[in-house]
Structure 1
Amino acid sequence: MKALRTRSGFWSKKLSEATECEVDRAHRLMTYAEEFEDRWYWETDTEGRLTYLSANVSEQIEMFGIKTVGEPIANVFSLDQSEFELTRSLKFHIVSRTAFSNYPVRGIKSLSESWWSMSGRPWFDSEGRFAGFVGSGTDLTKTRKQEATIRRLAVTDSLTGLANRQRMQDHLDTLIKLSRNKEPDCALIMLDLDGFKNVNDTLGHPVGDALLIQVAKRLAEVTGETGVVGRLGGDEFQILIPSDADVETLSTLAAGIIAGVSSPYTIDGSTITVSCSVGIALADKQSDAETLVRNADIALYAAKDGGRATYRFFEDEMLAKAKWRKELEDELRTALATDQLFLVYQPVVTTDTEKLAGFEALLRWSHPTRGFIGPAEFIPVAEDSGLIQQIGDWVLRTAINTLATLPTDLRIAVNVSPIQFSNPALLSILANALAESQIDPSRLELEITESVFLEDESKAQKTFRALKGLGVRLALDDFGTGYSSLSYLQHTPFDKIKIDQSFVRGAVDPRSRNSAIIESIVALSKALGMETTAEGVEHQDEIDLIRTLGCSHIQGYVYGSGLDLADLMPELQAGLRKMEPIGHKCSRSPRTNCLRTGSMTVNEDSKPIRIRNLSSTGALIDQVDFTEQMIGVRIMVEVFPNEMHKAEIRWIGDQEAGIQFIDPISLDDLDR
């Protein structure tokens, strides 16, 4: 009957009044609860010594050398004071004979991972005398572990195990508060991966997740004990350097991060290479957490804008630029809604006949207070803000509507940005615009850069085939400046290659290799049945070279900049197509405005001249009386005292002429 005695405090009736059947039933029910319901029971004598403790608890505690039955309850269990700071101790309740409920407890030596919820009350014998305490409890271990998991997940990135955005923010807030009374020496590093989207798109999100896990490990290894690494989401990471942050140390760390992240990864048999851009902000006395995050983010943007795979420290000028970009973005939205954007059209001329073949539509912005803003200034803002999609659609529709008003032998070329190209709606937008205008689709030429192949080449090829299915022409723009690959030309149905102006510029210089590059591109294009357009032709002597090299078309200031077609429409409708070149007759090196006297010798006849606009390759001379027959004649020119140089007369005007030096001269002694 020992078990009955030790559980006597639990009976609702006095033992003298309980039948043997009732006692057996109570004993049976308690045993069931102890064995199958994670329930346990305890009992003490008047001194607070345990007289009974369920085996499912006592065995766990005794494993760590803690005695149970016969020991004071306060020597067996300890209360979790972290959650119950205002509660009384177990000993207090035993002495004061007061009940308690749902106290979290564990073994006194804290060696066990187990936690229990414990309740108790005093009990009295049949004579009403205090007989000790009786109580019960439940297992809290699972609940505690679940709560710990929830707390961990609340501050931990579930994919990488790094600190998440909230935890990083908490760390930063705490660090800034601790630094209020001293000069802070902490720093915040922001970084994201360059090329991660391509991994997700081509290899799938599971591979992308595996890559992020490996990147997280590398960041933790590179950072070590120097700082705390966190993942904000996607491919964005943050590193908090709590102390000893200086430019030299941070530069070394940033370079190590870039090198570590940029090393190849092997995942599911695929070798993957990505890089990262890094922005760094150092705290000062005026810094708060929000400002530090903003500054690091701005520095990260500057790093990406500076070519990626690099790092930048925050500077005040960056903030000014960011504010300017935000203002420009807001004004660009207004411009779209208020018709401030418009198109001009630059002539594209056939090389052999010098006749107009069509135009390229160029976007312009007439700002009400700033005046004309060039596309190089606002297009990057449009791309970053997502406005490029809306702007690109407007340009397409406007150019197609304009094309419907032109004679049918003329084409219009339109630039399509990579963002616009990747939009699945491009095909339907284009098809609807062509149907509404009722034009021949082959009169529309879409100019697309090689960067569209970087995201997903197979997807890009499908889009190209779909565009050709609509009947439009395709031109590969800026060929040779980026990721030129013959495979693009082999598999993509381009109608034309546009040779970038960087190859045209300086091509007439016999020392330049540009003409050889142009000739090679033309030969390749002809072999593939494609036309070629030389972009950025500015001088008349470049026309002869481009024609000799075999380019089919010319575009550039030599035939005019962006034009308003309304002014040209009468001539176009009348069938006039002959284009006359304008501008300088020959390519020139950078010139220095000057006014100096010199002399020239023609057929041993010396005459005084005045020299202006001098460069290493030529000059403008005046106070001369030449006839047209003198063009091409070689002369000797005294540029510097007692220093004669051979030159050739290239053009003749009213008492002035342009000369080209046979050999370039040095301008180092211009001041003598």
Structure 2
Amino acid sequence: MEVMSNHISELKVYDPFLLAGALIVCVTGAWITMRLVTRVAQTHGRQRLGWYCLAGMAGASFVWCTHFAAMLAYHCHAEVHLDPLRTGLSLLVMLGAMPLAVMLAVRLYGRGGCMLGGAVLGLGIASMHYIGMAAYRLDAPVAWNGLLVAVSVLIGVGFSATALMLALRPVNPRREIETTLVLVGAVAGLHFTGMEAMRVVAMPQHMMTAHDNGQFLALGLSVIGGTMLMLIAGIASFVIDGSVRQESYEELHRMAMSDGLTGLPNRISFNERLQNEVSRANRDGEQFAVIGIDLNKFKEINDTRGHAAGDIVLTTLAERFSALLADGEFVARLGGDEFIAIHRTSDSVELHGFVERIQQALNQPIPIEDYVVTSGGSIGVAVYPVDASDSETLISRADMAMYRAKTDPHHTIWYYESTLDQNMRERRALGEDLKTAMANGQLSLFYQVQTVVATGEISGYEALLRWEHPERGAIAPPEILQLADESGLIIKLGEWVLQTACEAAAGWDDNIRVAVNMSAAQFLQPRFVVAVQENLARSGLAADRLVIEITEETVQRNPDRALAMASSLQALGVRLALDEFGGAHSVLHMLRVFPFSKLKIDRSLMQQADTDPVVAQLVRSILLMGHALRISVLAQGIETRGQFSIASAEGCDEGQGYLIGHPAQSAQAADMTGLGPAAGSIRAVSSPVFSPAT
């Protein structure tokens, strides 16, 4: 009874301003710290190290500030002194515990890593709290409740582990709130449970010596203000990084959805737009058209002018397409020289107008440095839901119409119709039959004899492909090759023909050759020479007994590669033949069909005519051919009297070159030939038009 009369049990009293400030810091700090922990888990390398430091600093500062401000908010009827060494030590404990806990949770991941990290964080908060309380020196007896101390530690560990687990899960608004509240529970729960575990026994003589609340209020608010500045810096870093990430994501999304060369939407973007248009059409009862676009001369431009010129063609057309688009219209590049468009309308007149605008864009000349090209294109149109009831079928039918336009010499625009579908199905079925025929050995080679005309002696045989279809009968070789090309079987078919012909010829007499026709795709592929070597070695056929036949079209498709292949085959000893010379696609056919009135021999031939007998004979052949076709022949580049003599002796009709006259600004000045009328039968004509070729 006497003890009770001399000791007064102290009631917990807190300054509301400091307590409110501590709560604001705690909630704000918990939110930003957990968001920073999430960001740590999402990054790697040096960037992760930076987020580690920021998360550790923000977490340690808000936990310590919450404890310190709440501790200063506590009023007791006793003299209070703050030990600066222990106060600083409590902050250092948090600066070590927070980053370590985050590292364990992120690096180990899973429940085990979060539990271990939670234990480190909870024990760190507890150590910080009780070291800080030891720095809060009271001039009065203090009693501790061991059970509540243990409970406070368990609260800190359990809530910390839960907060880390939540922070490493996918982020959403609800998850952010849960994570923040749990970490607030860990910090505030441990602090106030720990405070409740402390009992100050105020002696009567200490009742009048309470600490200076005003001084502690100022100190606490200063600490809160400084910590809030640090947290604001953390928030700013997080927001800036989020903004940069969003901008980067948008840029990556734009790149993923756009064609790198032209900037038009790509195939992914088109598929997304197409699905939206289908949904809209189904919902609103509207129609839209898909327009397939394929350039007609793009490969020719690439081969003759180079890939840089091809890129200019693509980018120019992309700019034109973009400029002609109106509301409800869309153009994308699928790859190569393929474009595709969408036009939303139920008015056929509007659709025809849009297609005509595309055609005009394709047919307009494209300037490239000092020359001009015109690409042109084939256009196929299919309308949803008239021509198809789903997106895949719609695209397929637009492709059918485009393919029909590509094969039609009179129409470059084709609208889908049901007969196209039937024709395409038959074509595809025949292509499948060809695959089956190749797999089952239903193809065969026939051999047509070649003889020496003068003696009748057999010189060789040409291998000819044959296919007897079980239902359609004999399929013509050109159609077989076209089907193989469309089905992607042309290389495999060519290899089979080459192998079969070599094996057959190996059993013939040693002086008999075998001639094999090769498609452009087969001849121009990089490993064609290797394939020839392998077949010769496998069959035992001598290289000079194999003749590879190619057409002018093959050479024109890629002259440089064709020449390289021809040279490599010649080095092996394989013979090379030019097939279909004078045929429908040859220069001779063009000379015979076109109404040319003059044939000009190139300067490069005339420059060698007086030094190379082979070239001189070639010039004579050209003159004979021109006269046979009743076309006047002009020799360009005549610069020596020897060249002039050859042209004159062979009956060349006209001549042009420095020997005859130099380019001048007027016809009178250019007419300065010193050859005289008796120099030969050639009629010397000086041209007033400047031409570097002369």
Normalised TM-score (structure 2): 0.50
Q: Partner of 1:402: helix, strand, or coil?
A: helix
Q: Which one of 318, 331, 342 corresponds to residue 420 of structure 2?
A: 318
Aligned 8 A contact 1:276 1:308 in 2: no
Give the corresponding residue for 2:563: 461
Q: Which one of 226, 230, 245 corresponds to residue 143 of structure 1?
A: 245
Q: How does 1:225-624 map to 2 (within 5 A)?
A: 225=327, 227-246=329-348, 249-266=350-367, 273-285=374-386, 287-306=389-408, 310-348=412-450, 357-481=459-583, 484=586, 527-528=617-618
Q: Which one of 287, 293, 303 corresponds to residue 191 of structure 1?
A: 293
Q: Partner of 1:383: helix, strand, or coil?
A: helix
Aligned 8 A contact 1:280 1:313 in 2: yes
Q: CA deviation at 1:382?
A: 0.1
Pair 307,454 (structure 1): closer, same or farther in 2 beyond 3 Å: farther
Q: CA deviation at 1:381?
A: 1.1
Q: CA deviation at 1:439?
A: 4.4
Instruction: Name the CA distance, whole Å, in 1 between partners of 2:262 and 2:576.
Output: 44
Aligned 8 A contact 1:194 1:309 in 2: no
Structure having the larger proportion of residues in strand = 1
Instruction: Name the CA distance, whole Å, in 1 between partners of 2:306 and 2:340.
Output: 24
Q: Deviation string for 1:611-658 (max 9, x for gaps)?
A: xxxxxxxxxxxxxxxxxxxxxxxxxxxxxxxxxxxxxxxxxxxxxxxx
Q: Deviation string for 1:492-544 (max 9, x for gaps)?
A: xxxxxxx88x999xx9xxxx99xxx9xxxxxx99945999xxxxxxxxxxxxx
Unaligned runs of 5+ in 2: 1-17, 26-64, 76-80, 95-170, 181-187, 193-212, 600-613, 622-627, 630-694
Q: Which one of 320, 337, 349 corresponds to residue 218 of structure 1?
A: 320
Pair 380,525 (structure 1): closer, same or farther in 2 beyond 3 Å: farther
Q: How does 1:4-43 map to 2 (within 5 A)?
A: 9-10=24-25, 11-12=65-66, 13-14=69-70
Q: Counterpart of 2:536 in structure 1: which amino acid?
A: L
Aligned 8 A contact 1:328 1:378 in 2: no
Q: CA deviation at 1:181?
A: 6.3
Aligned 8 A contact 2:449 2:462 in 1: yes
Instruction: Name the CA distance, whole Å, in 1 between partners of 2:620 and 2:470.
Output: 43
Aligned 8 A contact 2:343 2:354 in 1: no
Instruction: Name the CA distance, whole Å, in 1 between partners of 2:338 and 2:506.
Output: 47
Pair 161,235 (structure 1): closer, same or farther in 2 beyond 3 Å: same
Aligned 8 A contact 1:450 1:482 in 2: no
Aligned 8 A contact 1:340 1:366 in 2: yes
More displaced, 411-420 or 268-277?
268-277
Q: CA deviation at 1:410?
A: 4.2
Pair 165,354 (structure 1): closer, same or farther in 2 beyond 3 Å: same
Q: Counterpart of 1:458 in structure 2: which amino acid?
A: D
Unaligned runs of 5+ in 1: 30-83, 88-97, 103-120, 486-498, 518-523, 532-547, 550-672
Give the corresponding residue for 1:50: none
Aligned 8 A contact 2:345 2:351 in 1: no
Give the corresponding residue for 2:263: 161
Q: Counterpart of 2:275 in structure 1: which amino acid?
A: D
Pair 259,428 (structure 1): closer, same or farther in 2 beyond 3 Å: same
Q: Deviation string for 1:559-582 (max 9, x for gaps)?
A: xxxxxxxxxxxxxxxxxxxxxxxx
Q: Deviation string for 1:16-47 (max 9, x for gaps)?
A: 57999889x99xx9xxxxxxxxxxxxxxxxxx
Aligned 8 A contact 2:286 2:346 in 1: no
Q: Identity rate of aligned residues, in percent?
A: 31
Q: CA deviation at 1:388?
A: 1.3
Q: CA deviation at 1:393?
A: 1.6
Q: CA deviation at 1:152?
A: 3.1
More displaced, 295-304 or 155-164?
155-164
Aligned 8 A contact 1:195 1:275 in 2: yes
Q: Partner of 1:179: helix, strand, or coil?
A: helix
Q: Partner of 1:238: helix, strand, or coil?
A: strand
Aligned 8 A contact 1:193 1:235 in 2: yes
Pair 251,99 (structure 1): closer, same or farther in 2 beyond 3 Å: closer
Q: CA deviation at 1:221?
A: 2.2
Aligned 8 A contact 1:194 1:308 in 2: no
Pair 326,528 (structure 1): closer, same or farther in 2 beyond 3 Å: same
Q: CA deviation at 1:360?
A: 2.5
Normalised TM-score (structure 1): 0.52
Give the corresponding residue for 2:104: none
Q: Partner of 1:423: helix, strand, or coil?
A: coil
Q: CA deviation at 1:448?
A: 0.9
Q: CA deviation at 1:155?
A: 3.3
Pair 470,170 (structure 1): closer, same or farther in 2 beyond 3 Å: same
Instruction: Name the CA distance, whole Å, in 1 between partners of 2:355 and 2:583.
Output: 29
Aligned 8 A contact 1:417 1:448 in 2: yes
Instruction: Name the CA distance, whole Å, in 2 between partners of 1:253 and 1:404.
Output: 61
Q: CA deviation at 1:365?
A: 0.6
Pair 99,151 (structure 1): closer, same or farther in 2 beyond 3 Å: same
Q: Counterpart of 2:462 in structure 1: which amino acid?
A: E
Pair 456,271 (structure 1): closer, same or farther in 2 beyond 3 Å: farther
Pair 451,184 (structure 1): closer, same or farther in 2 beyond 3 Å: farther
Instruction: Name the CA distance, whole Å, in 1 between partners of 2:472 and 2:615.
Output: 42
Q: Counterpart of 1:218 in structure 2: which amino acid?
A: R
Give the corresponding residue for 1:106: none
Q: Counterpart of 1:214 in structure 2: which amino acid?
A: T
Q: CA deviation at 1:458?
A: 1.3
Structure having the larger proportion of residues in helix = 2
Q: Partner of 1:434: helix, strand, or coil?
A: helix
Pair 148,444 (structure 1): closer, same or farther in 2 beyond 3 Å: closer
Pair 530,342 (structure 1): closer, same or farther in 2 beyond 3 Å: farther
Instruction: Name the CA distance, whole Å, in 1 between partners of 2:440 and 2:400.
Output: 30
Aligned 8 A contact 2:580 2:586 in 1: no
Instruction: Name the CA distance, whole Å, in 2 between partners of 1:308 and 1:162.
Output: 30
Q: Partner of 2:580: helix, strand, or coil?
A: strand
Aligned 8 A contact 1:280 1:300 in 2: yes
Pair 481,182 (structure 1): closer, same or farther in 2 beyond 3 Å: farther
Pair 256,406 (structure 1): closer, same or farther in 2 beyond 3 Å: farther
Give the corresponding residue for 1:594: none
Give the corresponding residue for 2:686: none
